[in-house]
Amino acid sequence: MSFCVAIDGPAAAGKGTIARAVAARFGFAHLDSGLLYRAVGRRSLAGEDPVEAARTLDARELDDPALRTPEVAEAASRVAAMPQVRQALVDFQRAFARRAGGAVLDGRDIGTVICPEAEVKLFVTASDEVRARRRHAELRAQGREVSLAQVAADLRARDSRDAARAIAPLRRADDAVLLDTTAMSIEQALEQAIGHVRAAMCRSGCSGAGSDARG
C-alpha cells in the first residue's frame, strides 16, 4: 500500500530534517527532491544543456556532497524555472511518491503538483532571519567562510525566484498544514510533524506499511 507525505517550504526551513525523521520513524523511503534540481544545476554549471541533463539524470548522482554548495543551489533554482526540466523530473518523483511501503518527499511543489493527493501535506517555514541563521551555521560547519548577510541575501533571492516562477511555484497547498518552526526546537518540530502523520495514518485505517502507532 502507498502512503505519501509531502513536505514543502522555502529554503533552510527544516524540511529535510523533518522529512528524514518522519521517514525513519515510519519506515518510509525519503526523496529530497531538491537534489534532482541541484544535480541538473551542477551539470549546467559544467556547460551541459539543463533539459538534456534532466532527461539523463542518474539517481546515483544525488549522493554527491558537491551538490550541497550555495553555488549549486543557485544554479538549481535557475534550472528549476524551466518547464522542460521540471517535466523531465515528474515521472521519477510520482513513481517514488507511490512506491509500496510509503514515501516522504520534500521540496517546493510536492503537495501542489507532484502528489496533490498526498495523505499528509506539511508546509514548513520559519522567519527569514531564523532560516538564514540556520543555513549560516550549516555552512560554517562545512568550513565555509560566508557572512550571515550574504546567506540571508542568497536565500531571499532564491525564495523570490522559486515563488515567482510561472510553473510549479513555491506555494502552500490549500490543504497543507502550516508548520512554522521559527520558535520551535528541532524536537518540537519533529513531534508535531510525526503527530500529523500518525493522525493521517489512523484516518486511513492505520494500515499503511511501516505504520507506527507508538505514542
* Residue numbers at the binding site for ligand C5P (CB under 6 A): 11, 33-34, 37-38, 73, 76-77, 80, 107-110, 158, 162
Do residues 114 and 107 lie in contact, with contact meaning Cβ atoms separated by under 8 Å? yes
Least Cβ distance, residue 203 to ligand C5P (angstroms) = 25
12/201 with CB nearer ligand C5P: 12
103/110 with CB nearer ligand C5P: 110
Least Cβ distance, residue 214 to ligand C5P (angstroms) = 29
61/162 with CB nearer ligand C5P: 162
Least Cβ distance, residue 110 to ligand C5P (angstroms) = 6
Least Cβ distance, residue 8 to ligand C5P (angstroms) = 7
Query: Which residues are paired to 23 by β-bridges?
Result: none
Q: Where are the alpha helices (DSSP H) in 31-69?
A: 34-45, 50-55
Please give the single-letter amino acid code of residue 75: A
Please give the single-letter amino acid code of residue 210: G
3/32 with CB nearer ligand C5P: 32
Least Cβ distance, residue 212 to ligand C5P (angstroms) = 26
Query: Which residues are paired to 105 by β-bridges?
Result: 6, 31
Least Cβ distance, residue 128 to ligand C5P (angstroms) = 15
38/134 with CB nearer ligand C5P: 38
Alpha-carbon 109 to chain mean position: 9
127/207 with CB nearer ligand C5P: 127
Query: Which residues are paired to 124 by β-bridges?
Result: 179
Cell numbers given for 66:
558537491
Strand arrangement, sheet containing 120-125: 29-32, 103-107, 4-8, 120-125, 177-180
Question: Strand (E) positions, 68-200?
Answer: 103-107, 120-125, 177-180
The conformation of residue 105, written as its DSSP 8-state character, comes to E
Do residues 28 and 22 lie in contact, with contact meaning Cβ atoms separated by under 8 Å? yes
